[in-house]
Structure 1
Amino acid sequence: MTTLSRLAATIQARKGADPESSWTAKLLSKGPEKCAEKFGEEAVEAIIEAVKGDRAKLTAEAADVLYHLLVMLAARDVTLDEVLDELDRREGTSGLAEKAARG
């Protein structure tokens, strides 16, 4: 099991937990919109660090982005496996061709 898989499983397990006992449960209890907002905030922070060029800070912010992405997905009952299956489906397809097919 990968680190992301373990994290996704932990997040899933926290869905029914007491919001006072877990940051993840607290986020999830606020609903999908708040989870999406928090993901967006973390993504912006990662962008800022990428522009600044601080590798350590970018690494930390990227970890936050991945965590909050998984929380946002869990809030909408989308699993990591579903996302990975979509990536597998796209593998070997030109990014330009894939984008054109969507749009």
Structure 2
Amino acid sequence: MHRKYFSTLALALAALAAGNALAAEASGPKTRAQVLTELAQAQRSGDIVAYGESGKKLNELYPSQYPAKPAVQGKTRAQVLAELAQAKRSGEYELINHSHN
């Protein structure tokens, strides 16, 4: 019973905070339907801050109860080397390289 109460309270607080943050966006306020859709998705994924002082999200506290987040794809070696070559051509690499000495 307590867990359900705290989860509901956390969801309500998260929705309130999200509503305040969204109201400040330059793109305009979201519709009620959009907010409810985002809230439902956050509930399913556990992407809501848990009640208490930990500051952790529910999916961080109870990872086995929520679907795993997809792994973030890193850059390939070729992409990193291409970025390095571009930084050297633009002179950006020299600025970074000399600032560490």
TM-score when normalising by structure 1: 0.24
Higher RCO (Cα < 8 Å, 6 or more apart): 1
TM-score when normalising by structure 2: 0.25
